[in-house]
Structure 1
Amino acid sequence: MPDESERTPAARPDTVGPRPTRRIDARSLRGLAHPLRMTILELLSLDGPATATGLAERLGENTGTVSWHLRHLAEHGFIEEETGRGTKRQRWWRRVGVTNELNTADFRDDPDTRGALSVYLHELVQQYFNRVVTYLNEDWDDGWRSAGTIADWRDLRLTPDQLSALNAELAAVIARHTAAAPDTGPAPDALPVVVQLQSFPRKARGTA
């Protein structure tokens, strides 16, 4: 399953074309699967580069703790130091410009990674939920409020191949809207937009 939360980095509107893809392996999954590390990576992905001090203030954490998790994320290739910015005491970190993809089938028969996979998936779903709650609790003007949507479709009956094809088509639609026009850039009134897609089978349940 692709990690859709990391597909489009914020604060980089000049990014054009597809980014390199990295398939998450067992070692990198275990390095990422921690609630605070996943939150740090989310903030760097959505809001751009930051320092340990800035992240600690946002998260209500100790700067030393955040610094340790930043180094851990860098060791596993998820983030990197932004060279030429900051000082030895105040280092800036940014998310590495690749799309991380995770295939749960890779870890199906690996008991040592099962716990990390569970943590990762549950934290990812919690991030999705928190973003929706934040959007609902914020004050938006009528234009943005009517443009956003929270919807689901419950009347589909698909085979695995059909579901895969549906997801591929939806991803292609998002890809067409991802890159800013190379000549003009984003419109003056454009804001970062998060598109969350969850598609999964549901086992039929009879009624008593």
Structure 2
Amino acid sequence: MTEDTQIRTLDSRALKALAHPLRVRIFDILASRGPQTASSLAALVGETSGSTSYHLRALAAHDLIREVEGRGTARERWWERPKGRIDMPGPDESMSPSNRAAAQIVTSEFFRLRHETLMSYLNRPESEIPEDWREVGLTMTTHLDMTAAQTMALREELEALVESAIKRFRGQTGPDVRRVSLRAEIFDLPTANSRTTSPEEGS
């Protein structure tokens, strides 16, 4: 397994360190835009460099990010997200209340940013998109009727395709290269006769 394909599952301490909306956003920016300084992050998120510097140090303390080797000065440090993927545990009933609350914050903010990125793409004026990229993007939704075993098999096919893309393209550079967001989702929908239990019914 290479550094690119390593998967790190966050422990409770790292999860709690990430459980702040601004830290999730900083983490996301470092993943999508590459290395940044406290000053460049401040300009992107609308905060002071002192604030972003504080949150960068908190993330680095749990190895969620790291300083870029051989780049920057004592006054202007560059930070990056390590290669590899992060498995962020979602809220789970087996967690302690504090861990569950941290997982809820991280999960909610991560998917809020994901939706924000998608809507920004959908609403981007064509004039802002290079001509050879205007027909490249794809958003697709379909509904299938499958068993759990069939769904797992399809999931494994999708994972294999993503793994192949990571090996072929991650770290590629060049004048025509742009950062691309690749998303894959597959999950079951509630059955027609399922319903949410109200607090009164569940007591």
- Per the TM superposition, whether the score is higher than 0.5 is yes
1:196 aligned counterpart, secondary structure: coil
Question: Which blocks of at least 5 consecutive residues in structure 2 are unaligned?
Answer: 194-203
2:180 matches 1:177: no
User: Where do residues 105-116 of structure 1 align in structure 2 (5 Å cutoff)?
Assistant: 107-110=92-95, 111-116=97-102
Task: Kindly state the Cα deviation for residue 95 of structure 1 after the two structures are TM-superposed.
Answer: 0.9
Q: Distance between the aligned counterparts of 1:85 and 1:101, measured in 2?
A: 28
2:146 matches 1:157: yes
Match in the other structure for 1:94: 80
Q: Distance between the aligned counterparts of 2:85 and 2:186, measured in 1?
A: 19
2:120 matches 1:131: no
User: Where do residues 1-208 of structure 1 align in structure 2 (5 Å cutoff)?
Assistant: 18-104=4-90, 107-110=92-95, 111-138=97-124, 139=126, 140-141=129-130, 143-159=132-148, 161-180=149-168, 189-206=176-193
1:83 aligned counterpart, secondary structure: strand
Partner AA of 2:120 in structure 1: T
Given that 1:180 and 1:186 are in contact with CA atoms closer than 8 Å, whether structure 2 keeps it comes out as no
Rg larger in structure: 2
Q: How many residues align?
A: 188
Compute the TM-score of the two structures, normalised by the length of structure 1: 0.80
Q: Distance between the aligned counterparts of 2:69 and 2:3, measured in 1?
A: 24
CA deviations over 1:78-115 (Å, ceiling 9, x no partner): 1011132212211111112232113448x431222111
Report % sequence identity. 32
Task: Kindly state the Cα deviation for residue 192 of structure 1 after the two structures are TM-superposed.
Answer: 1.8
Compute the TM-score of the two structures, normalised by the length of structure 2: 0.81
Question: Which blocks of at least 5 consecutive residues in structure 1 are unaligned?
Answer: 1-15
1:92 aligned counterpart, secondary structure: strand
Given that 1:31 and 1:72 are in contact with CA atoms closer than 8 Å, whether structure 2 keeps it comes out as yes
| Higher RCO (CA 8 Å, separation ≥ 6 residues) | 1
Say if 1:59 and 1:18 are closer, same or farther in 2 by CA, change over 3 A. Answer: closer
